[in-house]
Amino acid sequence: MLKGNLVVTNEEGLHTRPANRFVKEVRKFEAQVILKRNGKEAPGKSLVKLMKLGIVQGDEVTLICEGPDEKEAFEALTALLQPEGAPQC
């Protein structure tokens, strides 16, 4: 299992379009993905539940990936939440 706290630097946070991109990326992997914010969590494959987290730029989230390709999933999803050149948490 890979788990990390990230500050979302994507300008749109996880509004509709970026959340949809996130879900599409999650579905490429076998790993189970969970995103947590303020004590609430959502499965990475659920657009509606992700959007209910209300993630905006500057929020700290916990990304959890568990499965055979967890490392690849974690890296790809981190890149969506923190585009290149963005400061790491």
Helix 16-26 to helix 70-81 angle (10° resolution) is 170
Calculate mean pLDDT across residues 14-35: 96
Distance, in Å, from the CA atom of 6 to the CA atom of 84, rounded to the nearest integer, reads: 13
Calculate mean pLDDT across residues 77-81: 93
Q: Is the pLDDT of residue 39 over 60?
A: yes
Q: Is the pLDDT of residue 84 over 80?
A: no
Q: 58 and 7 in contact (C-beta within 8 Å)?
A: yes
Active site residues: 15
Q: Which fold has domain 2-81?
A: Histidine-containing Protein; Chain: A; (3.30.1340)
Q: Is the pLDDT of residue 89 over 60?
A: no
Average pLDDT across the chain, whole number: 92
